[in-house]
Amino acid sequence: MVIKPFHTLVRAVFGVLTLALATALPLAAPGSAEAAVAKKAKTSAVAKKSQARPVAKGPRKAGKRTKAKRVVRRPPSIGQMTGLHKTDDPLDLKSSVALVVDQQTDEVLFSKNPDAVLPIASITKLMTALVVVDAGLSLDESLQVSQDDVRGTVGSRMRSKLRPGTTLSRGELMHLSLMSSENRAAHALGRTYPGGLGAFVRAMNRKAAELGMSDTRYVEPTGLSADNRSSATDLARLVRAASEHPVIRDLSTSLGAVLPVGAKPQPVQFRNTNGLVHNPEWAIGLQKTGFISAAGRCVVMQAEMAGRQLIMVLLDSAGRYSRVGDAERLRKWVSEQNLLPMFGRRSAPLPAPVPAEPPLSVVPAPVVAPVVPSLPKVPPWQPVSLSPTSAALPALDPTRPWVHVPALPLAVERPPESAQAR
């Protein structure tokens, strides 16, 4: 009697545990019909999701993921914030400031906001090179790029190829500063100036004052600071002064160079930042480009156009290639104009005058008496011997101008009458 209820209780507990275990396990075991249905539903969901994604066109390299193109929005330039881009001009330039000046006569051929004071970016390096040349420092002296030059150029968007420990001559550093706009090279030129970087900046401002650049101010030698500011009128004076030095002209227009870089020197190639120097339609004697967000795209050039030596300044151009397009528009416009020198001005030395032929000397002809044909000589009057019939006539006097001869009877023979009758 006691054992039977115990067995019943064990069976009941076992049933409850079995029911609980069956409830906890997945309803669809692998291999069952329910599992197949669930797997099919999961596959269809993944397929729908993959169809919703855009399919990339073209072959895809294994092991590399395609990165979405990131749009970089730079802050507006000073010219954009001050509304200079709204200024209209006949050529519809993208630059808010433009100026074209005859280098020899100072005649302004084209201008747009020429007195606006704006950041000038790496155009600063033109003054950096001018101060180095005027100081008479040896261009063959070896200088080393240091960590001070790295720290002094923090904030540059352009990656520098000059690693710390690179040893180059002062002339090579100036070459890279003008041609490739190397910020570390320009900073090293200022740092190694007698008296240090502060003395170099003071020399830059002093030189600007000597050139009459009253709207210009420099705070460092690279142009990375937006506090380096000037106007197009002042920059035209700077270009004129820099173009007087052949070394600056040659280095700024160089197409490229290969120089040893690094503590363990390795050859590295550098190129000119101004693509117009490769264009055979341009005769550029000096150039410098510049760019920071506050300044926009800038370029200054000295070039020959329409038989003239012209200075061109373009500041605060919006767009990567817009300054090149503006320069081409100005060159075409200048070529189409009638730019003959004005009265009293000479755009270029005139050819030597051709010596004129000496005037013909008029010698008066000698006065010659008119030639009168000589008349035959008439022999003097001679006495005429008369026949006996005229013996009664008086003798002729040859001294008389005329002689009166009386009429004489003449003997006339008459035909016979027989002949008259006929």
Between helix 124-135 and helix 170-179 the angle, nearest 10°, is 160
Query: Does the annotation mark 125 as catalytic?
Result: yes
Nearest to 223 by CA among 138, 288, 164: 288
User: Would you say 248 and 178 are in contact if contact means Cβ atoms under 8 Å apart?
Assistant: yes
Query: Does the annotation mark 77 as catalytic?
Result: no
Q: What values do phi and psi take at 288, rounded to 5?
A: -160, 135
Catalytic residue among 181, 230, 317, 347: 181
Catalytic residue among 77, 95, 96, 122: 122
Query: Does the annotation mark 69 as catalytic?
Result: no
Catalytic residue among 125, 177, 231, 252: 125
On the 0-12 / 13-18 / 19+ scale of CB atoms within 10 A, 323 is buried
Would you name the residues annotated as active-site residues? Answer: 122, 125, 181
